[in-house]
């Protein structure tokens, strides 16, 4: 027991948290983790069926959650998300930008359409949602924004031209927004996971030799799991990270070390 009250640093009770891409993969796990620490979750996803399923899971576990549809590539949709949540809840305390797509192809074969889709969802989407929700947070003088970057923002992998470009952009966008907004009470940081097995990445891992190749690059000799990101997300969403600005925390089993 301590007289300093350090446990309260991680308290999220009744904080309003939006998780984009919250209907699947990493977003789902992070949303559930934040809910366990007391946050009230808005599961924002382009697919309402998935968002509603996660919101229901949170409620069945004793938490508070609801689903909202959003297209992160649409300025009008992202503004509507921010304005609706702010009006109905009175504030927005936490934003997790977890919406993303994953495409792997040799650079000489990558179509312009595939490149555009990855950049629009993974990078432009993070900017648009952060811009809309950030405006609310700046008005209220506080907030935490957590972006999903990747080890691909630090290391080169064959076939990852579009994905790495998008995540490298997220890491640098995180720094710029962090510098611009921290003096106004809004902290912007990111999490950089190693290759994590989700429904989105599973088909890639099923290719011949791919799982073995990915594992060979991770010193801990295992793939990431969505639950690995929950601790970092809770830290960055809480008062414990009030002096952390523009950083990407790599949760990667040592992938970026060698």
Residues catalogued as catalytic: 163
String of DSSP letters for 51-108: HHHHHHHHHHTT-EEEEEE--TT-HHHHHHHHHHHHHHHS---EEEE---------GG
The angle that helices 161-181 and 125-140 make with each other, rounded to 10 degrees, is 10
Task: Calculate the alpha carbon distances from 84 to 5, 40, 121, 194, 202 in Å.
Answer: 35, 15, 21, 34, 34
Query: What's the rounded Cα separation, in Å, for the pair 216 and 222?
Result: 9
Query: What's the rounded Cα separation, in Å, for the pair 67 and 51?
Result: 5
- The bridge status of strand 248-251 relative to strand 94-97 is unpaired
Query: What is the CA 151 to chain-centroid distance, rounded?
Result: 14
Residue carrying structure tokens 């000799």: 221
Does the CA dihedral 231-237-239-245 come out positive or negative? positive
Query: What DSSP state is assigned to residue 39?
Result: P
Query: What's the rounded Cα separation, in Å, for the pair 43 and 191?
Result: 19
Tokens of 31: 């949303």
């Amino acid at each position: 027991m301590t007289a300093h009250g350090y446990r309260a640093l991680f308290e999220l009770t009744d904080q309003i948290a939006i998780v984009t891409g919250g209907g699947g993969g990493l977003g789902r796990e992070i949303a559930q983790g934040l809910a366990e620490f007391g946050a009230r979750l808005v599961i924002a996803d382009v697919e309402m069926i998935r968002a509603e399923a996660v919101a229901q899971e949170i409620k069945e576990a004793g938490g508070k959650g609801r689903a909202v549809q959003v297209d992160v590539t649409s300025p009008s949709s992202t503004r509507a998300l921010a304005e609706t949540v702010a009006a109905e809840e009175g504030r927005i305390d936490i934003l997790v930008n977890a919406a993303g797509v994953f495409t792997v192809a040799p650079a000489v074969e990558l179509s312009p359409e595939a490149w555009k889709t990855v950049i629009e969802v993974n990078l432009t989407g993070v900017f648009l949602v952060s811009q809309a929700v950030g405006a609310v947070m700046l008005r209220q003088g506080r907030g935490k924004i957590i972006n999903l970057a990747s080890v691909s923002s630090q290391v080169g992998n064959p076939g990852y031209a579009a994905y790495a470009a998008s995540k490298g952009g997220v890491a640098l966008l995180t720094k710029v927004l962090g510098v611009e907004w921290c003096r106004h009470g809004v902290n912007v940081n990111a999490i950089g996971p190693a290759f994590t097995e989700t429904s989105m990445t599973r088909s890639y891992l099923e290719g011949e030799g791919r799982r073995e190749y990915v594992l060979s690059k991770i010193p801990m000799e295992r793939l990431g799991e969505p639950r690995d990101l929950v601790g970092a997300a809770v830290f960055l969403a809480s008062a414990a990270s009030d002096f952390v600005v523009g950083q990407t925390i790599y949760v990667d089993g040592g992938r970026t070390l060698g």
